[in-house]
């Protein structure tokens, strides 16, 4: 599942929203729960933000791994993707992720539509 989420985030970051939505639907239709998918999306963008900020501060990838305790593979993936966004964009995306979670849990939006809207907004 995590690999598919990385693929989905890669598709989002390359502005291939159709591919990202297709992956989302495949995951949901295969029985994955929206809470886990949204959490993985949020977590991935948190790591992107951390890597982006730490790279701006001059840290190497190995230093980022040591200081954060995040697995080297996730840091390497995030490093490649983080260059596609500014730090401010990543903060905005993360804020939208958290708002999406709140909107679903408060009953404002149905989960499938909310996650689709999140992907479309990135």
Answer whether residue 10 shows pLDDT above 90: no
What share of the chain in percent tops pLDDT 90? 73
Mean pLDDT of 12-29: 92
So what's the pLDDT on residue 111? 94
Answer whether residue 78 shows pLDDT above 80: yes
Q: What angle do CA 88, 91, 97 make, to 5 degrees?
A: 145
CA neighbor of 24 nearest in space, from 101, 103, 112, 121:
112
pLDDT digits (tens, 9 = 90+) for 41-77: 999 899 999 999 999 999 999 999 999 999 999 999 8
* pLDDT band at residue 5 using 50, 70 and 90 as cut-offs: confident
CA neighbor of 50 nearest in space, from 29, 21, 31, 71:
71
């Amino acid at each position: 599942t995590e690999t598919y989420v990385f693929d989905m985030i890669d598709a989002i970051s390359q502005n291939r929203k159709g591919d990202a939505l297709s992956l989302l639907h495949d995951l949901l239709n295969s029985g994955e729960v929206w809470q886990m998918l949204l959490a993985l999306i949020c977590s991935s963008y948190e790591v992107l933000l951390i890597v982006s900020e730490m790279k701006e501060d001059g840290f190497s990838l190995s230093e980022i791994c040591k200081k954060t305790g995040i697995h080297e593979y996730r840091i390497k993936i995030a490093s490649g993707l983080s260059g596609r966004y500014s730090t401010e964009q990543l903060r905005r995306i993360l804020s939208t992720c958290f708002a999406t979670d709140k909107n679903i849990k408060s009953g404002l939006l149905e989960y499938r539509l909310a996650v689709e809207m999140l992907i479309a907004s990135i």
